[in-house]
Amino acid sequence: MPTDRTLDQLRSAVREAGGGARTPDGDGPWPVPATARPDPAEAVRAVGEHETIAGTPARYVAVPRNTAEAAAVLRAAAGLDLAVTVRGGGTKQAWGSPPRRLDLILDTTALTGVVEHAAGDLITVVRAGTRLDELAPALAGARQQLALDAPLPGGTVGGAVAANTSGPRRMLYGTVRDLLIGITLVRADGVVAHAGGKVVKNVAGYDLGKLVTGAYGTLGLITECAFRLHPLPAASAYVSRRVDDIAEAGRLAATVRAAQLVPTALEVDAPAGGGAQLTVLLEGTPAGVAGRTDAARRLLGADATGSDRPPDGWGRYPWRDGDIGLKLTAALSGVPRLLADARAAADRHDVPLALRGSAGVGVLYAGVPGTADPERVAGLVDALRAASAAVAGHTVVLTAPAAVRERVDLWGPVHGLELMHRVKQSFDPDARLAPGRFVGGI
């Protein structure tokens, strides 16, 4: 039976990288599980056409257990001219464009665990394949948190950085870019680079963490991230108000922003059926939260309600698998107008549109059923882009069925595209990392 020489070379690279996986030294909350430590023969495997990224089939899957093995795999892939796409929890593989070509999926699910948790400094270093929903309870033991929401269950640390996903709490704590203070990245040629916190070697001329955040894995493989942590709040409360008019929700949001409430989040939820709900999240000391809850109720009106639990759908995207998902942004002053214009555009094009997101930072998400007519959806996307541009924002199609992708530009107009191409050329001159997944065919 003929042997697969490419597979043999990939396995040999893993074997030569050091054999056993490096696990946390005992100070971390958990070790790398035994099931995630395959021998070299299993760390790289052939898959035929059973493994895909956005519908594009791969020939091989590699599951490195540490940075050294990941670097060895990428060096071998470079020598073999293999196109590589990274996969973590797989929750956002339908985002962006399909890769133009795909030979190897580099799976990060064995790159898990806390490398270091310096509780006194409010810093943690985490492997990229660690799930956010598993990291939270590990940090909670020290009454600390990584204030990143997980809109999609099962999402990983590396995926959150690669796709630049942040949820409701970004209003107070900031985005992924704000919380990320250090990163370990393996380039397409297998060279390992470190930047920021716990620095060993830097990449001169670049803010590496900011560059790779939101780059969809097109600049390198993230293996470890260092984050700034925050204390867990002693108390929290959610104050909500339902209104019939989405424009009224926008006006109420502006009223809350102008007050001295210092909310952690200010979210609007406007289902396709009409109406909207505005919710304010307040965190802090029990006495402080109680006082601000009363103030929030006065601002929102007599119909406002309070709870210690989030409303249904909090922090989740307003679409399901197979639907069309969009991201809309606006200057803060333009949020009420964007909400009203988006609903009006959906009515004009006769397309159901659900809106949900932060009225506190001007980032909204929109969901359209995947069964909607593609031509109507294309018209709606054009209208939403015009509406967001009018309030200093933009609209991006994050995910959509193939029939819609064929009719719309997922990214829309992008400033600085020439510079982005030059950065890509610098990091990945042969365009082998997730080719075509990102804006402008990067």
User: Per residue in 251-294, pLDDT tens?
Assistant: 999 999 999 899 999 999 999 988 999 999 999 999 999 999 99
**301 dihedral zone (left: phi>0; alpha: psi -120 to 50; beta):** left
State residue 37's pLDDT score.
Answer: 45
State residue 47's pLDDT score.
Answer: 80
DSSP letter (8 states) at residue 310: P
Q: Which domains does the chain have, with CATH numbers?
A: 5-20+39-231 (3.30.465.10), 235-406 (3.40.462.10)
Query: CA–CA distance from 434 to each of 97, 100, 194, 372 (Å)?
Result: 10, 8, 21, 29
Q: Would you say residue 14 has pLDDT above 90? A: no
Alpha-carbon span 135 to 227, nearest angstrom: 12
Q: What is the pLDDT confidence band of residue 39, given thresholds at 50, 70 and 90? A: low
Mean pLDDT lowest for which of 1-5, 175-179, 433-437?
Answer: 1-5
Find where tokens 């030569």 sit: 16
Find where tokens 């990584």 sit: 146
Find where tokens 């609007």 sit: 268
Alpha-carbon span 69 to 290, nearest angstrom: 51
Mean per-residue pLDDT for 63-72? 94
Beta-strand pair 104-107/84-87: parallel
* Amino acid, res. 212: V
The length of the chain, given as a count of residues: 442
Decide: 183 and 208 in contact? Cβ < 8 Å: yes
Q: What is the pLDDT confidence band of residue 157, given thresholds at 50, 70 and 90? A: very high
Alpha-carbon span 113 to 383, nearest angstrom: 44
* Amino acid, res. 377: V
pTM: 0.90
State residue 51's pLDDT score.
Answer: 87
Q: What is the pLDDT confidence band of residue 46, given thresholds at 50, 70 and 90? A: confident
State residue 55's pLDDT score.
Answer: 87
Give how far the C-alpha of residue 18 lies from the chain's centroid of Cα atoms, to the nearest Å. Answer: 32
For residue 412, what are its two tokens?
């829309």
Q: Would you say residue 194 has pLDDT above 50? A: yes
Q: Would you say residue 131 has pLDDT above 70? A: yes
State residue 26's pLDDT score.
Answer: 32
Mean per-residue pLDDT for 221-249? 96
How many of the other CB atoms lie within 10 Å of CB of 133? 13
Decide: 326 and 398 in contact? Cβ < 8 Å: yes
Query: CA–CA distance from 252 to each of 257, 267, 342 (Å)?
Result: 9, 11, 17
Q: What is the pLDDT confidence band of residue 43, given thresholds at 50, 70 and 90? A: confident
Instruction: Give the helix, strand, coil percentages of the chain, each rounded to 5.
Output: 30, 25, 45
Q: Which residue has the higher pLDDT, 268 or 48?
A: 268
Instruction: List the beta strands (DSSP E) in 51-103.
Output: 52-53, 56-57, 60-62, 84-87
